[in-house]
Structure 1
Amino acid sequence: MIRIAIVLGSTRPGRLGKAVADWAYSRATERGDATFDVLDVEDFGLPILDEPLPPSLGRYSQPHTKAWSEAVDRFDGYIFVTGEYNHSIPGALKNALDYLYKEWNNKAAGFVSYGSSGGIRAVEHFRAVAGELQLAGVRAQVALPLATEFENYRTFVPTAAAEMNLQTLFDQVIAWAGALKVLRPDQSHGHEPGMAA
């Protein structure tokens, strides 16, 4: 079965993203076409990138990097929950992305964003980063403006439109995650696609 991670990218105290990620996970578990889990960047305690070698080499020296790599690698696709900080994604999320490379390659990515403009500018920036990591971003996006999706700009109460958009996002991420599996090494048989077993 397709495995999708809901990645919570904000680490700041009182973050709004926790409620958004919990909502996405709750709706995801009502589906039967994929398995879902939450990866909270905060749980991994990643310092500012401290690996001496480029992530593309996959030769990690730090225990926190190895733990993050193992957690990320087991999924076929990701739904990133991100706020918008100065027209971009939170620094903690960018740092977490920068730690790894092959673990992201040829996998699907969907975006659930929030902010004064629904986080759309953060996702526009994120899509460029995802492309460099060979993450295939789907077209659908869930954008959650603070004025309409959060009571008093703090308490998350998703509208019917947000609920519908989330289901479309799930559909696209799951479909693309399945399609992209053929581009990744078959770890269960130890060979590259197109090579004799």
Structure 2
Amino acid sequence: MKKVAVIMGSVRTHRINHVITNWFVATSGLKDKFNVEIVDLKDWMLPPYDEIVAPMSLKGAYTTEHGKKWQKYIDGMEGFVFVTPEYNKSVPHALKTHVDYLFTEWNGKPTSIVSYGYSGGDSSSDHLQSILGRKSAIQVKMTETLPQLLLKKDIFNEKWEIADINSSFAQYLPATKKVVSELDALFKSSTK
């Protein structure tokens, strides 16, 4: 089975990213098709990029230990799903930093985005699509379906936890399953 990293985009202390990530993995059928690894960027916490030249010029020859470890890990993945909140109409800084560290390790790999926020995370999804494709030097193979989960105040309990994620996000189940079938199709088209 192909190795797919599900990358959690938030590193905040008080976050719901892990809950949404686990819900996506559990309900989408991702594990039925792929070998899935959930990547919590809190476990990596890369500093601002500090190599002497841009990642595309390094060609994998990183000089820092943290850069070498991140490069080796991401290079070993065959596809990605980014689960990202929307912060101030963009992606979290930690997610941007971790993407910016690499270049060839992302290129050509099947990828999807699951965003969430009080507007469904549409701006963070759009920004991440621009970072990973469109006119960017990085060019992933993006799924057409990119679920945008709308947060509403009434889905939270008094501790600001999602009270019942399955009922709150039931309407997004078809889109999450479609992501899996589109990733699978992208992998199959890559091997032809």
Say yes or no: does 1:179 pair with 2:189.
yes
Unmatched 5+ residue regions in structure 2? none
1:162 to 172, 181, 187: 172
Who is 2:63 aligned against?
Answer: 61
Q: Is the 8 A contact 1:84 1:121 kept in 2?
A: yes
Look up the SS of the partner of 1:88 in the other structure: coil
2:145 to 120, 124, 140: 140
Look up the SS of the partner of 2:143 in the other structure: strand
Q: For each residue in 1:146-187, what CA deviation from the matched residue of structure 2 results, as whole angstroms up to 9, or x when unmatched?
A: 1179424631614222222111111112221332356xxxxx
Look up the SS of the partner of 2:124 in the other structure: helix
Q: CA deviation at 1:84?
A: 0.4
In structure 2, relative to structure 1, the CA distance for the partners of 1:168 and 1:12 (3 Å cut) is same
In structure 2, relative to structure 1, the CA distance for the partners of 1:170 and 1:27 (3 Å cut) is same
Q: Is the 8 A contact 1:28 1:36 kept in 2?
A: no
TM-score of the pair, normalised by structure 2: 0.86
Look up the SS of the partner of 2:46 in the other structure: coil
In structure 2, relative to structure 1, the CA distance for the partners of 1:175 and 1:20 (3 Å cut) is same
Structural RMSD (CA): 2.0
Output the CA distance in 1 between the equivalents of 2:126 and 2:86.
Answer: 10
Q: For each residue in 1:103-161, what CA deviation from the matched residue of structure 2 results, as whole angstroms up to 9, or x when unmatched?
A: 00101111111111010111111111111211122110111111179424631614222
Q: CA deviation at 1:32?
A: 2.8
The aligned runs of 1:66-145 (5 Å cut-off) are 66-131=68-133, 132=136, 133-145=138-150
Output the CA distance in 1 between the equivalents of 2:153 and 2:183.
Answer: 25
Output the CA distance in 2 between the equivalents of 1:129 and 1:110.
Answer: 13
Q: CA deviation at 1:25?
A: 2.4
TM-score of the pair, normalised by structure 1: 0.84
Unmatched 5+ residue regions in structure 1? 183-197
Which letter does structure 2 place at the counterpart of 1:178? Answer: K
Q: Is the 8 A contact 1:49 1:99 kept in 2?
A: yes
Runs of 4+ in 1 over 3 A off after TM superposition: 27-31
